[in-house]
Chains A and B, each alone.
Chain A
Amino acid sequence: MNRNVILAGVGGQGLLALAGVIGEAARALGLHVRQAEVHGMAQRGGVVQSHLRYSDRPLHSNLVRMGTAQLVLALEPMEALRYLPYLSPIGAVVSNAEPLVNVSGYPPVRDVLGEIERHPTHRLVDAAALAKKAGAIQAANMVMLGAGSPFLDLSEAALIEAIASFFADKAPSVIDTNVQAFRLGAAAAPPS
Chain B
Amino acid sequence: MDLEEIERSISTPSEQSNQTQCPKANANGISDDASAPLRAFAGALTLSRMPHVASSQCRQEGLVRTHLLLGNEALARGALDAGVSAAYAYPGTPSTEITEYVLRSPEAAHGDVVARWTANEKTALEAAIGASYAGRRAMASMKHVGLNVAADPFINSAIAGANGGLIINVADDPSMHSSQNEQDSRVYLDLALMPCVEPADQQEAYDAPAHALDLSERHRVPVLIRLTTRLSHSRGTITTGPTRPPNPFSLPEDPKRFILLPALARQSYARLVEQQANFVGESDASPFNRFIEGADRSLGIVACGIAYGYLLDVVGDSFPHPILKIGQYPVPERLVSELMNACERVLVLEEGFPYVEAKLRGVPARVSPTVHGRLSGHLPRTGELTPEAVADALGRRRSPTIAASSAPIPRPPALCPGCPHADTCAALTEALGARPSGGVVFSDIGCYTLGALPPYDAIDTCIEMGASITMAKGAAAAGLRPAVALIGDSTFAHSGLAGLLDCVRENANVTVVIVDNLAIAMTGGQASSAEGRIESLCAGLGVDRTHVRTIEPHPRNLADNVAVLREEIAYVGPSVVVARRECIQTARRRARSGQSEEAGDR
Q: Is the beta-carbon distance between A165 and B56 smaller than 8 angstroms?
A: yes
B68 close to A33 (CB less than 8 A): yes
A60 B401 Cβ-Cβ under 8 A: no
A46 engages B235 (CB within 8 Å): no
Is residue B598 contacting chain A, with contact meaning CB distance below 8 A? Answer: yes
A45 touches B416 (CB 8 A): yes
Count of residues in A whose CB is under 8 Å from the partner chain: 78
A148 to B230, CA, bound (A): 25
- A107 and chain B: residue at smallest CB distance: B407
Q: How far is the CA of A167 from the CA of B447 in the complex (A)?
A: 29
Among the 9-residue stretches B121-129, B280-288, B386-394, the one with 4 or more Cβ atoms under 8 Å from chain A is: B386-394
| Complex: A102 Cα to B60 Cα, angstroms | 41
Q: In the docked arrangement, what's the CA distance between A59 and B68, Å?
A: 13
Q: Is B26 interfacial (CB-CB < 8 Å)? A: no
Residue among B409, B523, B601 making CB contact with A16, cutoff 8 Å? B601
A 54-81 to B, binary, CB cutoff 8 A, 1 in contact else 0: 0000011111011110000000001101
Residues of chain A within 8 A of B409, CB atoms compared: 78, 103, 105-107
Residue B107 lies at the interface, judged by CB distance under 8 Å to chain A: no
**Which residues does chain A contribute within 8 Å of B231, judged by CB atoms?**
62
Q: Which residue of B lies closest to A54 (CB)?
A: B237
- Contacting residues, chain B, for A45 (C-beta < 8 A): 411, 413-414, 416
Number of interface residues of B (CB under 8 A): 65
Q: What is the distance, in angstroms, from B444's C-beta to the closest C-beta of chain A?
A: 14
> Are B408 and A138 touching (Cβ within 8 A)?
no
Residues of B within 8 A of A35 (CB): 68, 234-236
User: Are A170 and B416 within 8 A (Cβ)?
Assistant: no
Q: How far is the CB of A135 from chain B (nearest CB, A)?
A: 9
Residues on B with beta carbons closer than 8 Å to the beta carbon of A141: 599
Q: Which residues on the B side are within 8 Å of A47 (C-beta)?
A: 410-411
Contacts of A44 in B (CB 8 A): 413-416, 447, 450, 522
Cβ-neighbour of A85 out of B308, B404, B413 (below 8 A): B404
Interface string of A176-192 (1 = CB under 8 A from B): 01100100000000000
Query: Which of B1, B177, B386 meets A41, CB within 8 Å?
Result: B177
Whole-angstrom distance from the CB of B397 to the nearest CB of chain A?
10
Question: When the two chains form their complex, are residues B313 and A81 in contact, meaning their CB atoms are under 8 A apart?
Answer: no
Whether B70 sits at the interface, judged by CB under 8 Å, is: yes
Give a binary string over B570-597; 1 marks a CB under 8 Å from any A CB, 0 the rest.
Answer: 0000000000000000000000000011
Bound form: Cα–Cα A161–B201 in Å? 27
**Using a CB–CB distance below 8 Å, which chain A residues touch chain B?**
10-14, 16-18, 20, 23-24, 27-28, 30-47, 51, 59-63, 65-68, 78-79, 81-82, 84-89, 102-103, 105-107, 111-112, 115, 136, 138-142, 161, 164-165, 167-171, 173-174, 177-178, 181
**Can you report 12 residue pairs joining A to B where beta carbons are below 8 Å apart?**
A12-B416, A20-B602, A30-B1, A34-B236, A35-B236, A36-B234, A40-B522, A60-B201, A61-B310, A62-B309, A67-B400, A164-B56
